[in-house]
Amino acid sequence: MKKMFIALAAVVLVCATSCSGLRTFQQVQGVSITPDFVRLDINFDNMQPLGETTISIETRTYLGFITVLDKVNGVEYDRRNQRTAMLKGDGLNIRLAGNLSKALVKVLDEYPGADYYVVTSAKVETNQMFLGKEQTKSMTIKAYRYVHR
C-alpha cells in the first residue's frame, strides 16, 4: 500500500510539474496609425428613395397561448415554405412584433438594392372574442439607396 501511495504521489508530481511552462511577455511601445475619430455625414441629399411598401400578418389566438398564423401579406400562409428576414445594423435592430419577420421578405424582394430601410408606421388591429382574439399587424417601410456624390 505504501509503494502504491509513493507511485501515485510521483505520478501526480510529474503531472503537476509538466503542466507548468515558461511564459515571456515583451511590451513595446508603438504608435497607433488608426484615426481616433471617424465621421461620415449623410443627409437626405445623399439618399435616393426607392419606394414604400406595407407588410402585414393576420393571426388568431385561442386561450391566450395558442397562436395560428393565417395570412402573410394578404396571402394564405404556407407552413411548408417558410421564409423569414431580419433587418440589422450597427447597434440598431428593427424589432418586429410577432411573425412580421415572415412578412418582411416582401420588402427585401421588392427592393433588393436598398441600403436603408425606415419603418414609418406600425399598426395593430385586434378583434377581441370570447377566449380568443383575431389580430392584424401591419407595418409601412420605406426603402432608400445611398447615392455617392
Cα separation, 104 vs 97, in Å, equals: 11
Beta strands in 27-96 (DSSP E): 47-62, 66-72, 75-76
Q: What three-state secondary structure class fits 144?
A: strand
Q: What three-state secondary structure class fits 14?
A: helix
> Rounded to whole angstroms, what are the CA distances from 6 to 1, 13, 117?
9, 10, 72
User: What is the reported pLDDT for 28?
Assistant: 57
Please give the grid coordinates belonging to residue 58. 393576420
Taking only the tens place, the pLDDT of each residue in 121-143 is 889 999 998 889 999 999 999 99
Q: Phi and psi (nearest 5°) for 18?
A: -75, -20
Taking only the tens place, the pLDDT of each residue in 85-132 is 877 766 556 667 668 888 988 998 999 888 888 888 889 999 998 889
Pairing of strands 116-129, 66-72: unpaired
Q: What three-state secondary structure class fits 54?
A: strand
User: What is the reported pLDDT for 92?
Assistant: 57
Query: Which residue in this structure is represented by grid cell 510529474?
Result: 14
Taking only the tens place, the pLDDT of each residue in 34-85 is 777 888 777 878 889 999 999 999 999 998 889 999 999 999 988 888 888 8
Extents of the domains making up the chain? 47-146
Cα separation, 97 vs 43, in Å, equals: 29
First-residue to last-residue Cα distance in the chain: 86
Cα separation, 117 vs 95, in Å, equals: 13
DSSP category for residue 3: H
